[in-house]
Amino acid sequence: MAQTNVAGGLRAPGLLDRERIVATAGFNRWLVPPAALCIHLCIGMAYGFSVFWKPLQGALTGADGKPLAECSAGAVTFSEKAAGTLTALTATDCNWSQFDLGWMYTFFFVLLGVSAAIWGGWLERAGPRKAGLVSTICWCGGLLISAFGVYTHQLWLMWLGSGVIGGIGLGLGYISPVSTLIKWFPDRRGMATGMAIMGFGGGAMIGSPLATFLMDKIFKTATEPGVWQTFVAMAAIYVVFMTIGSFGYRLPPPGWKPEGWTPPPSAKSMITSNHVHLDNAHKTSAFWLIWLALCMNVSAGIGIIGAASPMLQETFGGALAGQPGVGYLDMKKDAVLAASAAAVGAGFVGLISLFNIFGRFAWASASDKLGRKLTYFIFFTLGAALYVLAAFSADWKILALFVGCFCIIASMYGGGFSTVPAYLADIFGTQFVGAIHGRLLTAWSTAGIVGPVVVNYLHDTRYAEGIAPDQLYGQIFYILGGMLVVGFIANLLIRPVDPKWHMSDAEVAAEQAKLTNAAAGATTGSFGIGRGGLDAKAVLFWLLVGVPLAWGVWQTAVKALVLFQ
């Protein structure tokens, strides 16, 4: 659609404008999911940042070649650790602790939700290409700032670069394809968003082993851990992939639908054919009930996933290394035994990661058949039952059952993320679903604090009370199961939106008119799988993202095999 310039004349849409990327006849909709994966596989490295913690903790060395003391050395209480962190922000004569660096995760996921909520409306107006490029600048630029922070040993630059600026890039990159994919795949909403959000879960599978390889094999020296160089190299790689993804986005013309597809009756499937404006979505009870359901699902999973390796080692102790009679505390006294158990713990983390990523695709795809409400019903009922079973399996010391419980829980944790965009589209329509999804992600920001705080606080409190390590988690599992019961009630109460919140035909037409001229000549059913499906161009694009993803899965699977040896 032509736009007015400052002089009052008309100008053609710019290269990055939303109106410029409306697809024309012959475009294959299967080119859009790999474009989304190009971005999500890059920003998903946020999950894998812990690979940098150990190298950074020993980055500064003395004349004897040994690492300098941490800035918070000797700190025990939270206030003492916090004081040490404040010192670490600018100190150049002491090393950072894991506590100092761990705040990066808080920044990542709080800023993800906040930025998605703040700029989600702008994304709907600007379009996914412009949002994707802004995400690229923030995420990759944040890595470069962090590289300078590591080079100068300034922790505040690390926080600002990757944590704050990169976190904003996470939010914009995460939601940039959601609305677009749902509009391209109205017949498979869950599958479409599951493919993209699967990439966010899989980003660490590629990024973590890549970062480890670059640090250990390319940049590491006797006095340099190679972290800042790795940041620069990964920023260069990511900027290429994310730019390709951003320019690969296309929007369907207004009124487009797959050839031969008819929307299902809304009375039976809770899928509305109407639209709710972004400004009104949060005024409905459905929005807040979905918000609460997502928050409880994520809170119940994220704390345990973050503590997966120590949880397994504390619960099963020497049994992980073939010594079932040796408890965790005694096992830690034997370096060989402890190392063997730690390897099994790392394998457990890898296995959980695999179930997390594939759960995102499998559950979201299944929701197209089951319906979103029933899918969340399964998450909450099965999840609560599995937490109870996990508590019993810990007491019974049945490792296989314990691991199986958490693999399924991890799959539903990931499935909750990938299914919720389609849930929102079913309830609020597709016109503003990307922006509404952005606001809903504040539930993730909240859960990112609630889940770990509950798990870590209860763990440390119970340990201080003298409770044996293998008994620490039983009570925690019951509390997390209770969170899922709260989510179950919230999901049960979700109903279709009151018609008073629906946009009028005139309001919808006004929004869609912005793309109508750009889409002139487009016809219903002229795109997508009805006209070729995975043609040569689509196959090549899928290989671009599929090969790195397969490599990452293979690397993770190799680590997970330790569990079965």
Q: What is the pLDDT of residue 1?
A: 43
Q: What is the pLDDT of residue 187?
A: 87
**How many alpha carbons lie under 13 Å from residue 334 in its C-beta half-sphere?**
13
Which of 250-259, 376-385, 391-400 has the least mean pLDDT?
250-259
What amino acid occupies position 228?
Answer: W
Show the 3-state SS of 334-378.
Answer: CHHHHHHHHHHHHHHHHHHHHHHHHHHHHHHHHHHHHCHHHHHHH
Write the DSSP assignment of 388-448 as a string of letters: HHHHHHHHHT-HHHHHHHHHHHHHHHHHHHHHHHHHHHHHH-STTHHHHHHHHTHHHHHHH
- 404-458 pLDDT tens trace: 999 999 999 999 999 999 999 999 998 899 899 999 999 998 998 898 888 888 8
Task: Compute the residue count for the chain.
Answer: 565
CA–CA separation, 333 and 325 (whole Å): 14
CA–CA separation, 86 and 417 (whole Å): 34
Rounded to an integer, the average pLDDT of 98-105 is 82
- Residue in 397, 393, 407 with CA at minimum distance from that of residue 317: 397
What amino acid occupies position 314?
Answer: E
Sign of torsion over alpha carbons 382, 385, 387, 391 = negative
Query: Mean pLDDT over all residues of the chain?
Result: 87
Q: What is the pLDDT of residue 516?
A: 56
Task: Judge contact between 424 and 436, C-beta under 8 A.
Answer: yes
DSSP 164: I
DSSP 92: S
Q: Which residues contact 488 (CB under 8 A, 6 or more apart)?
A: 377, 380, 381, 384
Indicate the pLDDT class of residue 13, thresholds 50, 70 and 90.
Answer: low
* Domains identified in the chain and CATH numbers: 13-61+87-258+534-559 (1.20.1250.20), 267-504 (1.20.1250.20)
3-state SS of the chain: helix, strand, coil percent to 5?
75, 0, 25
Token couple for 498: 């009151």
Residue with tokens 């929007």: 251
Q: Which residues contact 48 (CB under 8 A, 6 or more apart)?
A: 203, 204, 205, 207, 208, 211
Task: Judge contact between 106 and 449, C-beta under 8 A.
Answer: yes
Give the rounded distance of the alpha carbon of 331 from its chain centre: 34
Task: Judge contact between 258 and 525, C-beta under 8 A.
Answer: yes
CB burial of residue 536 (10 Å; 0-12, 13-18, 19+)? exposed
DSSP 502: B
CA–CA separation, 175 and 484 (whole Å): 25
- 310-362 pLDDT tens trace: 899 999 998 898 888 888 888 888 888 888 888 888 889 889 989 999 999 99
Q: What is the pLDDT of residue 530?
A: 38
> pTM for the complete prediction?
0.86
- In a 3-state reduction of DSSP, which class is residue 241? helix
Above 60 in pLDDT, residue 177? yes
Rounded to an integer, the average pLDDT of 391-396 is 95
Question: Which stretch of DSSP H or E encloses residue 260?
Answer: none
What percent of the chain has a predicted confidence (pLDDT) above 70? 93
Q: What is the pLDDT of residue 546?
A: 93
What percent of the chain has a predicted confidence (pLDDT) above 90? 49
Rounded to an integer, the average pLDDT of 293-317 is 90
